[in-house]
Amino acid sequence: MIDSFIEGNRIFLEKDFERKKDRYMTLVESQHPTVLWIGCSDSRVNAERITHCRAGELFTHRNIGNIVPTHDWNFATVLEYAVRHLKVKDIVICGHSDCGALKALDADMTGDAYIPMWINNAREAQVRVDARLGKPASTPEEKAARKKEIEIENIRLQIEHLRSYPLVADAEKRGALEVHGLYYDLNTGVLSRIA
């Protein structure tokens, strides 16, 4: 597999890097992204690819379930750097269909030590959807609809978590920052606004 990465890099150098060398050379000294993109680690959801962005346009943080934890040094550091130092104008939380993290909310995770603790950051999304829709559905159509509702509600929940950070609340209040929720559908390739 590593050999294929090296070959892919050779193709990148030939077809992209060398042809757009001036653009890449501007990125050598500094970066000036205007967006902090918070997305899922899922290998099918590459932010630059689904938005057709170029290198240097997105400052990206990915984790299981596109979660914005409220007490996590790694996330807080990314957020602080993006808002205070890069001065991003927008923060996007992007969820997606067929999210394994959100499916795991219903799964028996006995034997896993870390995943259950992490996805508890999304548990409230499941609770809210089940309060609206009633007990978990039984038909395949109802199960699919519930799953999608949880994925979308999780984006809203993570926006709430994001706004609990004082530096985000302050930047929004000053009009220096906007927060957005997006949902990517793997079946159609469509990226939609949620919030």
Q: What is the DSSP string of 35-71?
A: EEEEEE--TT--HHHHHTPPTTSEEEEEETTS---SS
The catalytic position among 61, 96, 146, 161 is: 96
99 is catalytic: yes
The catalytic position among 61, 94, 99, 146 is: 99
The catalytic position among 42, 61, 94, 146 is: 42
For 50-62, what is each residue's pLDDT tens digit?
Answer: 999 999 999 999 9
**Percentage of the residues of the chain whose pLDDT score is greater than 70:** 99
32 is catalytic: no
The catalytic position among 10, 19, 23, 44 is: 44
**Percentage of the residues of the chain whose pLDDT score is greater than 90:** 79
94 is catalytic: no
For 40-92, what is each residue's pLDDT tens digit?
Answer: 999 999 999 999 999 999 999 999 999 999 999 999 999 999 999 999 999 99
Q: What is the pTM of this model?
A: 0.92
161 is catalytic: no
The catalytic position among 40, 61, 94, 146 is: 40
Q: List C-alpha distances in Å: 182 to 9, 33, 54, 118, 120.
A: 30, 18, 19, 21, 21
pLDDT tops 80 at residue 159: yes
Which uninterrupted H or E stretch holds 23?
Answer: helix 21-29
96 is catalytic: yes
CA angle (39 as vertex; 112, 179 as ends), nearest 5: 130
